[in-house]
Amino acid sequence: MNSVLLSSTKMDWCTPMDFFEELDAEFHFTLDAAATPKSAKCLKYFTVEDNALEQDWKGHVVFLNSPYGRTLGKWVEKAYREGQKWNFNKQ
């Protein structure tokens, strides 16, 4: 993995709204799993205090601009595990 991705000291890079809107038009997100009240892209969102890594994301279409740095692997693993909960045959 690129060491630059693991070296960022700034953990709150925001996704540009126009880029989010393009994605949202296709996926219709219902949860921003890594946000602040100021940066949240969805009505439902988790902050650092909520600890999204410990929350259940089931039932949501999740937008995630995860914090970079040493925890990136945990976010990828969490997103994968949450995705495994979704049963596409029961929509």
Q: Summarize pLDDT for 31-84 with one digit per residue, the tens.
A: 999 999 999 999 999 999 999 999 999 999 999 998 888 899 999 999 999 998
pTM above 0.85, yes or no: no
Question: pLDDT at residue 1 above 50?
Answer: no
Residue 70 CB neighbour total at 10 angstroms: 11
Q: What does DSSP assign to residue 89?
A: G
H or E stretch including 32? strand 31-32
